[in-house]
Amino acid sequence: MEKVNIPNFKLNNGRDIPALGFGTWLGLNDEAIFDTTDLPKLLDTLSYAIDIGYRHIDTAHHYRVEPDVGEAINKKIKEGVVKREELYVTTKVWHHFHRAEDVEVSVRASLRRLNLDYVDLVLMHWPMSITEEGVDEKIDYLETWRGFENVLEKGLTKAIGVSNFNVEQLKRLIANSKVVPASNQIEVNLNFGQKELVDFCQANKIVVVAYSPFGTMVPSRSTPDSPEPKLDNPTMVAIAEKHGKSVIQVTLRYLYQRGIISIPKTLSKSRALENASIFDFVLDKDDVKTIGEFDIGYRTVRPVFWQDYANYPFDKIDEKMEIPSELLKWKNGANLDIE
């Protein structure tokens, strides 16, 4: 079995975090319904990924898969493939748990579902606070962060961070907290480089983790009006051929050279291997400049249904949408029957 060797970045708490991870968000289907049909494939690929050398696994309460991801992790530990301390496991706290005391409730529930004694990183999934009924609680994320500092102090997690925070929110959080976030997980891809936010994070020793690192490049995310590059883009294909790599690998390498961690999700073992085989080549200055020209500020993930909620972190657009019911209340696991 071919193995991969994924290097680490250093967090501001001195701990290492692998520079590439395995994402576990299955997403909602066209009817905005969560579907577990692909979960067996995801878990099979995750198990393979651990076998070949992946050590960074990204999940969340909201992804509904914590019990199954935890089972895959524990199986690999039991088989002797990996030790718990060699794995980097991230989970996240959802909108419903933004009171300081509820953060611990959420993290302990995630640990129970994952069947782990601790996670390596827990993130505030979004800065907004919304009830299971869709009511804006308007809880200050500074209060929520006190809960995060508490679970860190109790050893339930080795690090705490945020997700989907903008520059102003990070500035305010840093100025009013004991613990600076270890990371900010945000959308970053070739169309959406987020230079100002990435620069701010890196200047403040906050590691950037990119979700949706391919943006609309992959067919499943592509829309009729979505911009280039796609997988067959001639410019990207030429750069890939020059290095004997794929367009996917060039994309992930570009983000890595910006000092950004990517957490692509895949249901394919061959793609898992491909995604992690990016540490044996270097994009030169011309490559970087050319690829940088695709950055046109195009956001792939835009939850307009949250636009009117307090602490919504993105620019607003003139569009209205109801919150999908799947984002309000759910159960976890393959059969969606685990609290």
- What residues form DSSP beta bridges with 33? none
pLDDT at 208: 98
Q: Where are the domains of the chain?
A: 8-311
CATH number given to 8-311: 3.20.20.100
Measured distance CA(222)–CA(202) in Å, rounded = 30
Question: How big is the chain, counted in residues?
Answer: 339
pLDDT at 185: 98
309 is catalytic: no
pLDDT tens, residue by residue, 190-204: 999 999 999 999 999
The mean per-residue pLDDT over the stretch 18-28 comes to 96
Q: Is the pLDDT of residue 275 over 90?
A: yes
pLDDT at 219: 83
pTM of the model: 0.97
Measured distance CA(110)–CA(96) in Å, rounded = 14
pLDDT tens, residue by residue, 110-165: 999 999 999 999 999 999 999 999 999 999 999 999 999 999 999 999 999 999 99
The catalytic residue among 48, 54, 63, 141 is: 63
**CB 89 within 8 Å of CB 46:** no
Q: Is the pLDDT of residue 31 over 90?
A: no
Confidence of residue 223 (pLDDT cuts 50, 70, 90): confident
pLDDT at 225: 86
pLDDT at 84: 98
| Single-letter amino acid, residue 295 | D
pLDDT at 1: 86
Q: Name which of 14, 63, 62, 69 is nearest 207 in CA terms.
A: 14
* Token output for 310: 């307090």
* Token output for 328: 């309000």
The mean per-residue pLDDT over the stretch 320-334 comes to 94
- Percent with pLDDT over 70 in the chain: 100
**CB 218 within 8 Å of CB 325:** no
Measured distance CA(228)–CA(144) in Å, rounded = 39
Confidence of residue 42 (pLDDT cuts 50, 70, 90): very high
Across all residues in the chain, what is the average pLDDT? Answer: 97
Question: Which CA distances in Å does 301 have to 202, 221, 304, 315?
Answer: 22, 10, 9, 12
Three-class HEC string of the chain: CCCCCCCEEECCCCCEEECECEECCCCECCCCCECCCCHHHHHHHHHHHHHHCCCEEECCHHHCCHHHHHHHHHHHHHCCCCCHHHCEEEEEECHHHCCHHHHHHHHHHHHHHHCCCCECEEEECCCCCECCCCCECCCCHHHHHHHHHHHHHCCCECCEEEECCCHHHHHHHHHCCCCCCCEEEEECCCCCCCHHHHHHHHHCCCEEEEECCCCCCCCCCCCCCCCCCCCCCHHHHHHHHHHCCCHHHHHHHHHHHCCCEECCCCCCHHHHHHHHCCCCCCCCHHHHHHHHCCCCCCCCCCCHHHCCCCCCCCCCCCCCCCCCHHHCCCCECCCCCEC
Q: Is the pLDDT of residue 222 over 90?
A: no
